[in-house]
Amino acid sequence: MTSFLLVLGCVAFMFAIYGVRGMPGRAVADTALLVIFIGAVAIAQFVLGQFFETGNTGNVLVVGLAALLALDSLYGLMAPERQKQRDKKLRRLMKKRA
């Protein structure tokens, strides 16, 4: 329950920060990425749990990623020019791959 509340708090923080920046679509994209990661961790924990005692490893990974995404949104608020540079580099990289 604690990990759920921590992840929910991080998601709410991301929506608040991206709402202030006027980019709510980025918060939705980050939340979708987090949901995909939660699914992958749940599947891996289920499979590995058949052979090993995994404990709270999956919860720690999910909370860690949620915290990293929340810190990334805060970093984007504090240094928007650097965030724009990163976005341009990612866009160029994706165009090269296509």
- The per-residue pLDDT for range 1-60, each reduced to its tens digit, is 888 999 999 999 989 988 888 888 888 888 898 999 999 999 999 999 889 888 888 899
Neighbour-count burial for 62-85, b at 16+ CB within 10 Å, e otherwise: bbebbeebbebbeebeeeeeebee
CA-CA distance, 88 to 91, in Å (whole number)? 5
* Entry pTM: 0.74
pLDDT of residue 82 exceeding 80, the answer is no
Residue-level pLDDT at 65: 92
Residue-level pLDDT at 37: 92
Flag the least confident range among 48-52, 60-64, 66-70, 77-81. 77-81
Residue-level pLDDT at 25: 84
**Do residues 7 and 34 lie in contact, with contact meaning Cβ atoms separated by under 8 Å?**
yes
